[in-house]
Structure 1
């Protein structure tokens, strides 16, 4: 990329080197891992031992499995911070490629339009998939489903954007970021002041964001250990999520961040495992509402450290060892946005059906996950990959993706970087 192509980018709060903006195959690996973890998280909801407080689900089976419980809560701590960190990272790359107006147009096309698509074509199926589960397994009369009135206990946490909140939040972050960078461009003294006080050490930046995350999480633990569901942003969730988005943007716009991630990735991944061992019993205490204030502070700190270490570890390890193109990964990376958009009602219907089957919780969890992956990938291949819908959701295809040559089945912004 030439200097003239970079010159129109909105200035950062740190000096920007001339970056190599070629596609990073590692990001495709992370997207595929991320969407599979999202699907696994939702597949395990009915089968964990410590159910998420206030979460409304079509089926919540009694008992559960401790191993699935551990996997579920680790993913819950990590997965959305990972996607938000990746979105912030991609945003930094986009702002070096596009002007402010071009960037907002790109964000509108890649986030706002799919959000509207999901609201119109996915959320109605989501609502009825949940309602059918309530009728078949929750003892509610059919009239409740027809009227879409399930009672205050359910309705209070049923109506909202469901899994599509992520698109809403990232679009709003993009608007706020664009405005903030415009202010810095308009007021050079403010830009120079922030540049002067910004720490150059990446660990200090992460520490600052992590401490802020602990404070927000203590204010409202339900951001992670609970359920917050609305049509509009929830303040605590919006602030907590923004810290990871800012972290990704900060890393991308800072000199030497890729080398730093490669260096510290393995250490961060190991640290995440250690910290999560401390976090899990405290999460269980929070779910049972038998946790003290001091223990809650420790829980919040361990959850935030688990999230940051896991995210940095995954990004660093993939950049270090998997930054190469793999055909089936490219295929699933292209399919990942579609899988994310439509999986929620599918997985709800699968859970409703499996509630009639007598199987161990582990088998039900794995089967739910594999069936959801199979249905979402199959629908992508049949209805999206080579259609105008695929062009609209993912952008124009440069080269058609090759179908995977494996027999077993395997977020937004996948074309951004």
Structure 2
């Protein structure tokens, strides 16, 4: 695909596809956790393998960095089209409002799975008083897998706050042209390394960094982890600037094979440097930690850029199945985690190999979520809420009455 084609496209189908893939792969990601060789998840299956840890690492490495790149690009696109007031209202309703509406039902589903798992594994003594409930405040409130909605809210707020002073400085357009030239200089085979430098420093200075999990997931507390703000904030900001220079998407697509090679090599090295699925943090800022942080940061952005470029090259044609999954992916991701946990508890004692269980859990949850999307979301008010549009039900064509003879 040429740069001009990408620039002039009415809709970036390749990036829509990547956003859908990033969300839908979350089902597989969370389903794999119960099959790790050592227990790091509340559900521990009887069938475990290091292959599950490799699968998790490969998906986790690029998924959210790519998602936030796309989120930044689409944020600039929407802001330019709608203006700041409509942009703020839309994001408040479709992002922050979704978090507020679904957080409690999701928590109820997760707690239900935890209680069932405790009973299934004999961790609850009949007649014994229940343990005291945990105490939560703004520093440790569990955001669950919906944390990305809170982080997006913060990024959107920062975007609107920075917009006014930049617009005041850029009355003649000089600052904007300078930013666009800098963005053009940033995009090339060196892009992953340039983006990786700040993240590597943040990871190296982080005393709680667990290398296996790459960029820390800020799923607890209203103040995100500093390393997560750096890692995902850079991705969001880079995507935001890319929408000002749509022609650079063609350059990313052209360099995607190189990005993929760097991602595979750096990703393999990062896994080895992390020691595999080890959950012990690297506390001290040693030289070994510096190397691990640098290689991990390079792998994160190289893999995210490779995914973006490859999707621009191969998924940029209009495809009804891809568009449907793109629309459905938001609902699937919101709904999936409690269902995955319930399915993991259900199958944990089954005498079957872990790949079969993983496929069964992932496919079953995905199918259930898609059915619920079609029947309860897509064609009603929730479709308009989540996707910005409601798809009417198709009516059977009416046959014209035969003319009287």
In the TM superposition, what whole-angstrom CA distance separates every residue of 1:307-351 from its partner, at most 9, and x where no partner exists? 211111111111112211112111111110100101010011011
Q: Give the corresponding residue for 2:158.
A: 176
State how 1:200-219 maps to structure 2 within 5 Å.
200-201=184-185, 202-203=187-188, 206-219=192-205
Check whether the contact 1:199–1:205 (CA below 8 A) recurs between aligned residues. no
* Structure 1 residue 31 corresponds to structure 2 residue 19: yes
- What is the rounded CA distance, in whole Å, between the counterparts of 2:230 and 2:127 in structure 1? 39
Match of 2:236?
245
- How far did residue 195 of structure 1 move? 5.5
Shift of 1:96: 2.0
Q: Distance in 1 between matches of 2:12 and 2:129?
A: 47
Structure-2 change in CA distance of 1:25 and 1:273 (3 Å): same
Aligned to 1:69: 53
How far has the Cα of 1:160 moved from its partner?
0.5
Task: Using the TM superposition, name which of 121-130 and 74-83 deviates more.
Answer: 121-130
The structural deviation recorded for 1:141 is 4.2
Unpaired segments ≥5 residues, structure 1 = 1-17, 403-417
In the TM superposition, residue 207 of structure 1 has moved relative to its aligned partner by 3.8
Count of aligned residue pairs for this structure pair: 379
Alpha-carbon distance change, 190 to 140 in structure 1, aligned in 2, over 3 angstroms: farther
- Give the structure 1 partner of residue 224 of structure 2: 234
Return closer, same or farther for 1:383/1:265 CA change in 2, 3 Å cut-off: same
Query: Residues 200 and 259 (structure 1 numbering): CA distance in 2 closer, same or farther, change over 3 Å?
Result: same
8 Å contact from structure 1 (residues 24, 323) kept in 2: yes
Aligned-partner Cα distance in 1 for 2:172–2:64: 32
Answer yes or no: is the 8 Å Cα contact 1:59–1:134 preserved in 2: no
- The counterpart of 1:129, out of the listed 93, 113, 119, is 113
Aligned to 1:408: none
Change (3 A) 1:270 1:206: closer
Q: Which residue of structure 2 lines up, in the alignment, with residue 397 of structure 1? A: 390
Which SS does the other structure have where 1:96 is aligned? helix
User: Is the 8 Å Cα contact of residues 380 and 391 (structure 2) preserved in structure 1?
Assistant: no
Q: Which residue matches 1:281?
A: 272
Which of 85, 89, 114 does residue 105 from structure 1 map onto? 89
Comparing 217-226 with 246-255, greater Cα deviation is found at 217-226
- Which structure has the greater CA radius of gyration? 2
Q: CA RMSD in A?
A: 3.3
What is aligned with 2:402? none
Superposed displacement of residue 239, structure 1: 2.9
Tell me the CA shift for residue 275 of structure 1.
Answer: 1.1
Q: Which whole-Å CA distance do the structure 1 matches of 2:66 and 2:80 have between them?
A: 22
What's the CA shift string for 1:109-151, capped at 9, x where partnerless?
221111112113322222222232233226134789966727x
* Counterpart residue number, 2:399: none
- Cα shift at 1:238: 2.5
Inter-CA distance 330–229: structure 2 relative to 1 (3 Å threshold): closer
